[in-house]
Amino acid sequence: MSRAVPRPGRRAAWVARRAGVAAGTAGGLGVLGWGVIMGEAKLARRTIGEPTEHAPDPSGSYGHPRRGRKPLHLAVLGDSSAAGLGCDDAAETPGALFAGMIARDLKRRVILDVQAVTGARAKDLDIQVQRVQRQPVDIAVIMIGANDVTHRTPPPDAARALTRAVGTLQAAGTHVVVGTCPDLGSVAPLMQPLRKLARVRSRQMAQAQTVAVVEQGAIAVSMGDLLGNEFAREPHLWGPDRFHPSAAGYRRLVDALLPSVLQSLGVELPTELVRDSVQDIDVAAAVAALNPGLEVEALPGGEGAASTGPGRLARLRRRLPVVGRGAPAGPTAESDLTAEDLPAEG
C-alpha cells in the first residue's frame, strides 16, 4: 500500500508542524525557564539595539553595454541581510556584489533592483515582488527568515508567504535563488538557553523554507550559521551590533550563494562541485537546515520508493564559493547608459 503524501504546496507547512512537534516547547522548558529566556531576550535586544539607519541603495546598472546583448535584470528581495544593513558604501552591499559578479562572469550588463527592507518578514515579500515586477526580471535572490524567527512567526505561515512570492516570480519567468533563514544561535549577544531556542527555531524555519522553495522549482541554499565556523573564528565578519555581518561578512555570504545564482542562469561550474546526492525532499530539507552552504534543487522525477509523487526527490549539492575570479564589475558609466540598446553588428 502506498503511503499518503502531502499535496504539493502544503508540504512546507506539514514539515514545519512535524518539526515543531518534535522540538516540543524548547526541550520541555517550564515556566521558570521561559522567564529566563524572556529576560535574556530583552537583554539581547538592548545589546543589539534597534536599527536606526537604512542600508545604502546600490540599485542601478553594472558592467558595460555590449552590442547585441540585452541587459540582465537582477532583483534582490528580503530583509536587512539582503539589503546590506551596516555597510557604509553601496558597493559593499549584497546587491552590488551580486550584480558586479554576474556582470563580470557573464560579460553582460546587469540592471539591479533592490527592494529588500530592514525588518522585513516573509509576509512583506508580496509588496516587494509587486515592485520588482514593474519590469521583467531574469533572476531574483531572496534572503529572508530571521525576523520571522524573532517575531515568532509560525514556520507554516512564513513558508506559505515565501511559496507565494517564489511562485509569482517563477510564473513570470524569473529564476529564483533563496538563501534560507540563518542560524540565530550563532549570534554572539544571545546566551543560553536563549541561544539553543534560537537555533532550534531557526532550523525549523529554514527547513520549512527549503521545502517551500524546492516545491516551486526554485533553488534553496542553506545559510546555516552564516557559513559555518568561519564567522565564529573571524570576529571581523560581524558588524558592530554583532547581529548583522560586516562588509567582509556580506562578501562571504555572496560568495557562497553566487554558484547557485550562476547555475540558475545556465552557467555550469562542474569543478566547483564538492558534494552531490539525491534525497527525499523532506530529508534534503532537514539535512540542509543543519549544514550551511548546501544547495537544494527539485528533480523532475526519479525511481525508487522516494519518488511517490512529483517533486518528491531533491538534489543536495555543496559548492565551493566562487572566489579568485577578479573584482566585480562596477557601476555602468553614465556616458555608457545611452548605448544600452546598441543594435547587433552585421
DSSP output for 171-232: HTT-EEEEE----GGG-TT--TTHHHHHHHHHHHHHHHHHHHHHHTT-EEE--TTTSTTHHH
Q: What domain range is 135 assigned to?
A: 35-48+56-325
Average pLDDT over residues 73-94: 94
Per-residue confidence (pLDDT) for residue 309, from 0 to 100: 43
- Judge whether residue 220 has pLDDT over 50: yes
Q: Rounded CA gap, 222 and 213, in Å?
A: 12
**pTM summary value:** 0.76
- The residue-averaged pLDDT of 300-314 equals 52
Domain assignment present for residue 268? The answer is yes
Q: Cis ω on the peptide bond leading into residue 193 (within 30° of 0)?
A: yes
Is residue 108 in a domain? yes
d(Cα 259, Cα 241) in Å, to the nearest integer?
29
Which CATH number do you get for residue 215? Answer: 3.40.50.1110
In a domain, 151, yes or no: yes
Q: For 260, list phi and psi in degrees, rounded to 5.
A: -70, -35
**In angstroms, rounded to a whole number, what is the distance separating the alpha carbons of residues 316 and 61?**
33
Domain annotation covers residue 330: no
| Residues classed as catalytic | 80, 241, 244
Per-residue pLDDT averaged across 223-230, rounded? 62
CB 299 within 8 Å of CB 313:
yes
Residues 6+ apart with CB under 8 A from 192: none
Largest CA distance in the chain: 77
Give the whole-angstrom CA distance, residue 346 versus residue 343: 9
pLDDT, greater one: 63 or 344: 63
- Which residues neighbour 138 within 8 Å (Cβ) at sequence distance 6 or greater? 72, 73, 74, 174, 175, 265
Predicted pLDDT at 172: 96
Please check whether residue 121 lies inside any domain of the structure: yes
Residue 250, in any domain of the structure: yes
For residue 21, tell me if it sits in a domain. no
pLDDT band at residue 158 under the 50/70/90 scheme: very high
Which one has a higher pLDDT value, 89 or 39?
89
Banded model confidence at residue 232, pLDDT cuts 50, 70, 90:
low
When pLDDT is averaged across residues 173-186 and rounded to a whole number, the result is 87
3-state secondary structure of 135: coil
- Number of separate domains in the chain: 1
User: Which grid coordinates belong to 300?
Assistant: 523532475
User: Cα-Cα-Cα-Cα dihedral of 192, 123, 136, 295, to 10°?
Assistant: 30
Residue 336 lies in a domain: no
Q: How far is it, in rounded angstroms, from Cα 110 to Cα 258?
A: 15
Please give the pLDDT value at position 313. Answer: 80
- pLDDT band with cut points at 50, 70 and 90 for residue 282: confident
pLDDT value of residue 90: 94
Q: Is the pLDDT of residue 30 over 80?
A: no
Please report, as a single letter, which amino acid is at residue 302.
Answer: G
Q: What is the distance between the alpha carbons of residues 268 and 271, in angstroms, rounded to a whole number?
A: 9
Mean pLDDT of the chain: 75
- How would residue 315 be classed by pLDDT, with cut points 50, 70 and 90? confident
Residue range 109-149, pLDDT digits in tens: 999 999 999 989 999 999 999 999 999 999 999 999 988 98
pLDDT band for position 8 (50/70/90)? Answer: very low
Q: Is 147:184 a contact under the CB 8 Å cutoff?
A: no
